[in-house]
Structure 1
Amino acid sequence: MTAYPARSDAFTLTAPVRLWEEGFATDPYAYYATLRAQGPIGWAELAPGIFAYVVTDRRAALDLLHDTETFSVDPRPWERTVSEDSPVLGMMRWRANALFADGAEHVRYRTTMLDAFDLVEPHDLRERVHRAVDILVSRFGPRGEADLVTEFARPMMALIFNSLFGLPDTESGRLDAALGAMMEGGERSAQGEAEYGRYVMELIAAKTAERGDDLTSRLLDHPLELTPEEVVWQVFLMLGAGHEPSANLISNALSRILGNPAYYSTLTSGARPVMDAVMEVLRYETPLSNYGVHFARESTSFHGMWLQAAVPIVISFGAMGHFAEKDFAGAHHPHDASHMSWGAGPHACPVKQPALLIATGAIERLTQWLPDLDPVLPRERLEWRPGPFHRSLRALPVRFTPRTPDRTPALTPGPAAESPTDQAGDRA
């Protein structure tokens, strides 16, 4: 059984926009235009038989995200109407963490996350980024060619988050593969969710047995005393939210940079900051394009639409970025105010600055090692991974002058880094 609005809902007369189709991955903007034509809130299908309202208007999104009395992030009333094998449950099912909690419970969970990340110094995070880039360039640099998605952006985020949470590099491949499968929302979603769950449980078991200077240990020892289950789901959220969108942010930014030779030359010469490219992605091609799922506590009228209770309401950050020029109508705005990639209201991203540091630091370090990156395919021929939630490249093949980094910094804290030779067989 699936959640579908009652016959009185106007959307029952409107064909849902199928965000699970391959065509959406290829050209999401045509789908966003169809949704926007329905009004501030459109009607979509996230997976076959799984329907949702999709907010494409900035004002409506802001009103919803700040209205905690009318709307909740708790999916359990909806979840009871959905088959257990639904491919979107990996991204939408209830868990005891900050993403799915309201009110005081949400504040408690969010506080533990903020306190854990506050102890990560920017210089330490930058060193972890540089170390991860150096390891990966040492693997593919001598070949003179690479896929900057599967050999750089995704394994780099796995390396960084393994070290932040207290696991060795050898576990990074599991994290990358599991999150990728779960995020796509397809037939491999359940398998990815199960593997990711095993990864998290093994991580917490290791840290329970022996603490370290890492995020997992800080959650376990936090004075707010999370239960063992709460620690599991907080880690589940923090790793997933940190790895997948950040990897896509980096690869999407690199594809935009490399697709414009004039732009690339200004970045490699230092005349233009990498942050400009990252901000372009956050505005026009945000990596988590449709999420921020809410539910009306009771059926209600909102921005001219009748919203049924217990039906998902998805915020389309991707659509709002696409229509930003029209919505702002040339008005002056702060550097990042024309996008909503960080969300808004009580559930806005709590670790915006670390995410920006990782993305910009990774691209800067990569282009320092390999200043002549040359895309194999024009940008319009690149393929995108299917899925209703993300904007994610399948591959970004490049060529460059072969290069071997002359050093690979040691991991601190945690186990010593393996040499590039030792790691060559560990494809993350």
Structure 2
Amino acid sequence: MSTYPAPAESFERSAPVRLWEDGFAADPRRYYEALRAQGAVGRAELAPGVPAYVVTDRKAALDMLHDDRTWTRDPRAWQETVPEDLPVLGMMRWRPNTLFSDGAQHLRYRTALLDAFALVEPHDLRERVIRAVHVLVSRFGPSGEADLVRDFARPLMTLVFNSLFGFPEGEADRLNDAIGALMEGGEAAAEAEAEYGRYVLDLIAAKKARRGDDLTSRLLDHPLELTVEEVTWQVFLTLGAGHEPSTNLVTNALSRILGNPAYYSTLTSGSRPVRDAVLEVLRYETPLTNYGVLYAREPVSFHGVWVQSAVPVVVSYGALAMFAEEGHGGAHHPRDASHLSFGAGRHTCPVKHEGLLIATEAIERLTQWLPDLEPTVPRDRLTWRPGPFHRSLVALPVRFTPRTPDRPAGLPGGFPTTRTGARA
């Protein structure tokens, strides 16, 4: 907690930066600069008439993320002040899961998730990704063109996460459509939240009837004895938190490296690891830009601003990333540069290593099979999806030499082998 004085009058007079506008998706830099001009903590709106404080300073962000006494993740006091049909409520509503809990309850949920994911061996996760990439490249590879958002990244995450949680591949479209609309926080958000909820309930019902070797079954059978409702909400959170940010991580990385010939030539030759590109995105263009939401337990002076309770305080990972890139003058040091894309403190993402593995393996396999991928739209003309919480492309169109994964370039015929030599 800071001992700074109450806010200056200029802060109170500052117009809130409207993160719900379409212009935010098109040009976030302008909005982040307006926020930063207000100081370490700026004023914003997450939806029309819905105020929030936004943290754009790294030290302030770390102070907040490591201070569980002053700040809580529980949004219920705020939730009572907003209408039920608020578009962003689907992303911010309290649920009994790791994201919206504190203390012993948070530890209980987090432990169950960590234990469930600990049984997913890295080689098994890698092979799931390889199989998914094989399925998808088999579909669009012969055509010589694709949209890497619609045809690759989004269905890839559905295939991988459905397999991890134990749901059939045939349900892919339901998951894609519901999570996408929920993240955007627009007019369709309420129905998307309901549809995603039905999707998860169907999954829980299937696993209650018949267990399997999957994350859902492990949560149901965990020694901590989570209730069915608690398992439902852990799945609701984790499935969504895995699918959408991972999709954006892959497409944001691909959009950066495919538009950079020097980078892509080293990528396909293997001299620059894909993991560097993924870390570069986490550092400079994080997929979840403004989803670190906390609330003051009581009114508090914080880095020069008097913060009211029951008002969202957003750690802007997007702003932190953007200003970090400017601070490096365009230089790339992904192995050395730290980032906060996975959060910090007790609420650090519990499965960040799995997320990195999925994204890295997906890009590696895609660029092995299609080594001459070429974007058909310059990066500065790509369109970004609206919404205050994410940095997400609408489409990433590419062309390439038509090819099937039966004989990927540079690899022997048949299904490719993993690094350990095992057949996928």
| TM-score, L = length of structure 1 | 0.91
Q: Is the 8 A contact 1:321 1:338 kept in 2?
A: no
Q: Cα distance 1:187–1:310, how it changes in 2: closer, same or farther (>3 A)? A: same
| Residue type of the alignment partner of 1:161 | F
Using the alignment, how far apart are the partners of 1:103 and 1:186 within structure 2?
32
1:163-184 deviation digits (Å, cap 9, x = unpaired): 0000111112211111000000
Q: CA deviation at 1:23?
A: 0.8
- Correspondence 1:184-203 to 2 at 5 A: 184-203=184-203
Using the alignment, how far apart are the partners of 1:174 and 1:329 within structure 2?
42
1:192-227 deviation digits (Å, cap 9, x = unpaired): 111100000000000000000000000000000111
**2:126 corresponds to which residue?**
126
| Residue type of the alignment partner of 1:152 | F
1:121-177 deviation digits (Å, cap 9, x = unpaired): 000000000000010001111111000001100110010000000011111221111
SS of the aligned residue for 1:222 comes to coil
Using the alignment, how far apart are the partners of 1:376 and 1:130 within structure 2?
26
**2:56 corresponds to which residue?**
56
SS of the aligned residue for 2:236 comes to helix
Using the alignment, how far apart are the partners of 2:233 and 2:260 within structure 1?
41
**1:23 corresponds to which residue?**
23
1:228-261 deviation digits (Å, cap 9, x = unpaired): 1101100001101100000000000000011111
With 334-343 and 303-312 compared, the bigger mean Cα shift is at: 334-343
Residue 357 (str. 1) matches residue 357 (str. 2): yes
Using the alignment, how far apart are the partners of 1:21 and 1:280 within structure 2?
27
SS of the aligned residue for 2:99 comes to helix
Q: Which runs of 5+ in 2 are unaligned?
A: 1-6, 407-413, 417-423
Q: Is the 8 A contact 1:96 1:233 kept in 2?
A: yes
With 320-329 and 213-222 compared, the bigger mean Cα shift is at: 320-329
Residue 171 (str. 1) matches residue 163 (str. 2): no
SS of the aligned residue for 1:339 comes to coil
| Residue type of the alignment partner of 1:77 | A
1:279-318 deviation digits (Å, cap 9, x = unpaired): 1111111000111110000000011110000100011001
Q: Is the 8 A contact 1:253 1:277 kept in 2?
A: yes
**1:304 corresponds to which residue?**
304
- Correspondence 1:216-235 to 2 at 5 A: 216-235=216-235
Q: Cα distance 1:329–1:24, how it changes in 2: closer, same or farther (>3 A)? A: closer
Q: Is the 8 A contact 2:17 2:45 kept in 1?
A: yes
Using the alignment, how far apart are the partners of 1:336 and 1:75 within structure 2?
35
| Residue type of the alignment partner of 1:354 | E
**1:117 corresponds to which residue?**
117
SS of the aligned residue for 2:133 comes to helix
Q: Cα distance 1:329–1:299, how it changes in 2: closer, same or farther (>3 A)? A: farther
Using the alignment, how far apart are the partners of 2:336 and 2:191 within structure 1?
37
Using the alignment, how far apart are the partners of 2:151 and 2:325 within structure 1?
34
Q: Is the 8 A contact 2:255 2:396 kept in 1?
A: yes
Residue 68 (str. 1) matches residue 29 (str. 2): no
| Residue type of the alignment partner of 2:368 | Q
Residue 250 (str. 1) matches residue 250 (str. 2): yes
- Correspondence 1:130-149 to 2 at 5 A: 130-149=130-149
SS of the aligned residue for 2:154 comes to helix
Using the alignment, how far apart are the partners of 2:335 and 2:60 within structure 1?
22
**1:155 corresponds to which residue?**
155
**1:295 corresponds to which residue?**
295
| Residue type of the alignment partner of 2:134 | D
Aligned residue pairs: how many? Answer: 404
Using the alignment, how far apart are the partners of 1:256 and 1:327 within structure 2?
19
SS of the aligned residue for 1:117 comes to helix
| Residue type of the alignment partner of 1:309 | S
1:330-358 deviation digits (Å, cap 9, x = unpaired): 9x998354321010000001111111100
SS of the aligned residue for 2:53 comes to strand
**2:375 corresponds to which residue?**
375
What's the % identity of the aligned pairs?
A: 73
Q: Is the 8 A contact 1:292 1:343 kept in 2?
A: yes
Using the alignment, how far apart are the partners of 2:336 and 2:193 within structure 1?
33
Q: Is the 8 A contact 2:276 2:334 kept in 1?
A: no
Using the alignment, how far apart are the partners of 1:367 and 1:99 within structure 2?
34
Q: Cα distance 1:135–1:333, how it changes in 2: closer, same or farther (>3 A)? A: closer
Q: CA deviation at 1:10?
A: 6.2
Q: Is the 8 A contact 1:279 1:336 kept in 2?
A: no
Using the alignment, how far apart are the partners of 1:130 and 1:8 within structure 2?
55
1:342-387 deviation digits (Å, cap 9, x = unpaired): 1000000111111110001000000111011011011001000000
Q: CA deviation at 1:326?
A: 6.1
| Residue type of the alignment partner of 1:225 | E
| Residue type of the alignment partner of 1:192 | A
Q: Is the 8 A contact 2:8 2:304 kept in 1?
A: no
SS of the aligned residue for 1:309 comes to coil
Q: Is the 8 A contact 1:299 1:306 kept in 2?
A: yes
**1:398 corresponds to which residue?**
398
Residue 261 (str. 1) matches residue 261 (str. 2): yes
Using the alignment, how far apart are the partners of 1:387 and 1:166 within structure 2?
30
Q: CA deviation at 1:329?
A: 9.7
SS of the aligned residue for 1:100 comes to coil
- CA RMSD between the two structures: 2.1
Q: Is the 8 A contact 2:17 2:43 kept in 1?
A: yes
**1:424 corresponds to which residue?**
none
Q: Is the 8 A contact 1:74 1:101 kept in 2?
A: yes
Q: Cα distance 1:259–1:334, how it changes in 2: closer, same or farther (>3 A)? A: closer
Q: Is the 8 A contact 1:9 1:306 kept in 2?
A: no
Q: CA deviation at 1:325?
A: 5.1
Q: CA deviation at 1:9?
A: 8.1
Using the alignment, how far apart are the partners of 1:334 and 1:392 within structure 2?
21
**2:80 corresponds to which residue?**
80
**1:4 corresponds to which residue?**
none
